[in-house]
Amino acid sequence: MTEKIIMRHPTLPDHQEIEVPRDSMPHYTSAGWQLVPQAELDERAALAEAEAAEAAKAEEAGETDGLQSADATAAADEPETTEQAESTTERPARSRTKATPKKDEES
């Protein structure tokens, strides 16, 4: 199994990164891509883990309120009115995939 690495390009925003096999790193570095430092990846993983723990605590604390919020969500999903969609009598636009034959100009 090939190990994956994360790379970014200096001309792109920092959040636009790619994950590539380690074996193809020379190909990408010759095109200007740079390896994202491992310290930055570890910091992101720690933040994600902390957020997941907070979400789990919030979900655990909100279990008693979960039934009430589920009912409110179900009511919000229902449409307010049951009007039928208006039917259109307009014809769809012509397809422009076929080019019209051009006449040769003779002067």
Quickly state the pLDDT bin for 70 (edges 50, 70, 90).
low
Query: Is 30 inside any structural domain?
Result: yes
Quickly state the pLDDT bin for 15 (edges 50, 70, 90).
confident
Query: Is 51 inside any structural domain?
Result: yes
Q: Structural domain tally of the chain?
A: 1
Query: Is 89 inside any structural domain?
Result: no
Higher-confidence residue: 102 or 55?
Answer: 55
Query: Is 70 inside any structural domain?
Result: no
Query: Is 68 inside any structural domain?
Result: no
**Reported pTM:** 0.48
Query: Is 82 inside any structural domain?
Result: no
Query: Is 17 inside any structural domain?
Result: yes
CB count within 10 Å of CB 82 equals 6
Domain span at residue 55 reads 4-61
Query: Is 99 inside any structural domain?
Result: no
Pick from 68-77, 85-94, 95-104: least confident: 68-77
